Amino acid sequence: MTKKDLLDPKVDFVFKKIFGSEKRTNILIAFLNAVFQAKGTEKEIVEVKIDNAEINKDWDEDKLSRLDIKATADNNKKINIEIQLKNQYNMTRRSLYYWSKLYSSQLKKGQEYSTLNKTVAINILNFDYLKGMDKHHNCFLLKEKETNQILTDLEEIHFIELTKLDENRYKTLEDIDNNLLPWLLFLKNPDSEVVKMIEERVKELKEAAETLEVLSQDEEAREIYEARQKAIHDYVSSIEGARKEEREKTRREEREKAEKEKREMVKSLLQHGATVEMIVKSISMSEEEVKEIQENIK
């Protein structure tokens, strides 16, 4: 059998197969520790339980059902990881919504609020999203607006924008200055030379690369992968089409409003004694149009 090209690990189906497997939780642990260490926000995770390792049976019917990863760390911290290949124009609200659902789902009937554990959302995006922010990894907390005092550490939302990471800067192992970079470079281009060099030093990354290799040779996985890619592309195209129609509708309404206001102004000028010639000279309207308005007044 001819060796096939590697699947894109940024497609959520592939990402979940690599990072969301109960058999390879060491990959997820290494990735999460790298994310948290990059922001200095967490102690090292030793164990993790994946709460939704299975891919729901109904996801194939609903091509856009979520394929995120939910996990519980050894300190009972709840974590949700979502990767998006295309901009669906709803990331902030979407992340807050799913963060709140995961946070509130911990509380069972009759339990005290004190039983609620820290909940973290990690959003990996293959597009620029946060305007005015050049860093590829940003972490948001609840803070007081003026003093920056943190209200609580129970809420944490990460945005990792892969498009803001310039992989061309990293040519040698010496260029890699934190533990998160290898994972992001792997997601951007798993077949790059620098990633292959890093694999020899980071065993979890090597295992992730080997998992991707096996997955890429699996015909059934490739079919699902291609169907998922098409579904995402079609959905985003429909969103972009709807947004374009809305923009065109808005522009049309603005033009109609401006035209109506101009005609009302011409009507008012005529009623106050202005001549057709005077109006044509001062307003971008033809003599015929002004005369038509004049006739309507009569």
Residue 178 has pLDDT above 70, yes or no: yes
For β-strands 48-50 and 119-125, DSSP reports them as unpaired
Say how many domains are in the chain.
2
Task: Examine the domain organization and report whether 212 and 256 are in the same domain.
Answer: no
Please report how the helices 25-39 and 12-19 are oriented relative to each other, as an axis angle in degrees rounded to 10.
100
Q: Which domain holds residue 103?
A: 12-217
Task: Examine the domain organization and report whether 111 and 257 are in the same domain.
Answer: no
Domain C-terminal end among 217, 241, 272? 217
Task: Examine the domain organization and report whether 197 and 283 are in the same domain.
Answer: no
pLDDT of 61 reads: 46
pLDDT of 230 reads: 84
pLDDT tens-digit series, residues 64-112 = 667 899 999 998 999 999 999 888 788 999 999 999 999 999 999 889 9
Give yes or no for a contact between 15 and 83, defined as CB atoms under 8 angstroms apart.
yes
Q: Quick check: is 196 in a domain? A: yes
What integer best gives the mean pLDDT of the chain? 89
Q: Say how many CA atoms lie within 13 Å of 139 toward its Cβ.
A: 13
Task: Examine the domain organization and report whether 188 and 270 are in the same domain.
Answer: no
Task: Examine the domain organization and report whether 277 and 201 are in the same domain.
Answer: no
Q: Quick check: is 210 in a domain? A: yes
pLDDT of 261 reads: 86
Query: What confidence category does residue 2 fall into, taking pLDDT thresholds of 50, 70 and 90?
Result: very low
Sequence letter at residue 78: K
Q: Quick check: is 292 in a domain? A: yes
More confident of the two residues 216 and 297: 216
Task: Examine the domain organization and report whether 156 and 266 are in the same domain.
Answer: no
Task: Examine the domain organization and report whether 26 and 70 are in the same domain.
Answer: yes
SS3 13: helix
Give the predicted TM-score (pTM) of the model.
Answer: 0.79
pLDDT tens-digit series, residues 41-58 = 777 899 999 998 877 544
List, in order, residues 6 or more apart from 76 with CB less than 8 Å away: 117
